[in-house]
Structures are given as C-alpha cells and as structure tokens.
Amino acid sequence: MLDCQMALLENAFTRFFATGEVPERIGTRHPVLTPFQALPSKDGYIVVAVARQDWWEKFCQLINRLDLISDERFKTNPDRTKNHKDLEEILSAITRTRSTSEWVADMEKIDIACGPVNTVPQVAGDPHTLAREMITQVKHTQAGMLRVVNSPIKLSRTPVKLERASPVLGEHTEEVFMNLLGLSKEDLAKLREEKAI
C-alpha cells in the first residue's frame, strides 16, 4: 500500500526533490494546473481538469465567461494558479447552477477532462464497477452472505477470485497446527487443555 501511495504522490515527490519545498495540503486542486480540482454542482461535485490553454478557452466558452480568457489574473496557467482563490470563487458560483451529470455531459462533448465525485452507493451500483466485477459475494461462517469489494487485479491467464470471507478468531487453528506444523489431534487436545490455544 505504501508503494501505491508513493506512486500516486509522484507529483509531490518530484516537486520536493526539485525544489526542496515541502508540499502542503491544498484540498482537491492540483498544485500547478488550474482549474484542475473538484467544484460544487447543484447536486454534488464535479472534478474539472483543464490542463491546457486551448481547454481553458473551450471551458470559458462552455460556461459563458469568455471575459475570463483576457482577464489578467487568469490569462495563463501560472496566472490562474497564482490567483486560484479568485478563480475558484467565480467557477464555484457557476458550477453550482447545474447538476453534475449536466456538466459532465457538456464537458465530454468538447473533450474537457472531467468526472463526477461519486458516493460509495453510486460507485457500488455504477455499470463500470459491475462490468469490472468489482463487487462480489462471499459466505461468512457467522454473518452469512456478504457483499464485498473484489480484487482489483485482473489477469487473463490467472484470474483472481475471492472465495471466502475473513475468518473468525481461531477458525483455522486446527488446520494450521495440523497441516503446517504437523501436530496430531492429541497434541491439539493437550494444547487446549493447557489453555495454550
């Protein structure tokens, strides 16, 4: 898990190694690309990733704010990043006027990178989640059938499949002691008698 988290933070590590500057918390926004963050919508949030100047111009056209293109505070990406607070205030007022799905549909039409910020129930029921078989069921010895998140590892020749739920305390004691340690049933009975297990 540490390896994955470090890989996800490659931008922060690169900036630290290059400048010695310790990255600080900045919410959902990107440290050097603006706007590249979650913005509120009428019914949730949408992540907008406007990483190029031509995308910025298309985005401004979509939100009916062509004046932002020539605004000195927002002319270039470094300008927008420097003045991100002012820009976020302007954009949040605009994005709150429509639903996330409406914004996503319109941005996708003009190739602006975006996506909804989903709740856990939305992700669990999403067609893509279901197609990827990321929700599965396992039988638990005490709780019965449980819905759980499946393995994200998808290998064509050696597929990963969750076959059972987490064990209850001591569920595999006998199996481990007999199969892995070579103890007999008598040995186990003695250990139980001595309250060692």
Query: What's the predicted TM-score (pTM) here?
Result: 0.74
Contact 127, 157 (CB under 8 A): no
How many structural domains does the chain have? 3
- In whole angstroms, give the CA distance from residue 4 to residue 105: 31
Question: Within this chain, do residues 154 and 171 fall inside the same structural domain, yes or no?
Answer: no
More confident residue, 23 or 80: 80
Any domain includes 1? no
| 83 — pLDDT class (breaks 50, 70, 90) | very high
pLDDT of residue 132: 92
Contacts of 114 (CB under 8 A, 6+ apart): 46, 47, 48, 49, 103, 104, 107, 108
pLDDT of residue 162: 84
Contacts of 25 (CB under 8 A, 6+ apart): none
101-156 pLDDT, tens digit per residue, is: 999 999 999 999 999 999 999 999 999 999 999 999 999 989 999 999 999 888 99
Any domain includes 10? no
β-sheet with 113-116: strand ranges across: 36-40, 45-49, 113-116
Question: Within this chain, do residues 108 and 179 fall inside the same structural domain, yes or no?
Answer: no
Any domain includes 15? no
Domain boundary among 57, 84, 117: 117
Q: What is the CATH number of the domain that holds 60?
A: 3.30.1540.10
Question: Within this chain, do residues 129 and 186 fall inside the same structural domain, yes or no?
Answer: no
Question: Within this chain, do residues 137 and 152 fall inside the same structural domain, yes or no?
Answer: yes
Which two structure tokens, joined as six digits, stand for 58?
Answer: 């298309």
Question: Within this chain, do residues 99 and 48 fall inside the same structural domain, yes or no?
Answer: yes
Question: Within this chain, do residues 96 and 109 fall inside the same structural domain, yes or no?
Answer: yes
Please give the residue range of the domain that contains residue 128: 118-164
The helix/strand count (H/E) of the chain reads as: 11, 5
Question: Within this chain, do residues 139 and 103 fall inside the same structural domain, yes or no?
Answer: no
The 10 Å Cβ neighbour count of residue 173 is 14
Question: Within this chain, do residues 112 and 36 fall inside the same structural domain, yes or no?
Answer: yes
Contacts of 40 (CB under 8 A, 6+ apart): 92, 95, 96
Helix (H, G, I), strand (E, B) or coil at 93: helix
pLDDT of residue 164: 84
Cis-peptide, bond into residue 40, ω within 30° of zero: no
Contact 8, 18 (CB under 8 A): no
Average pLDDT, the chain: 93
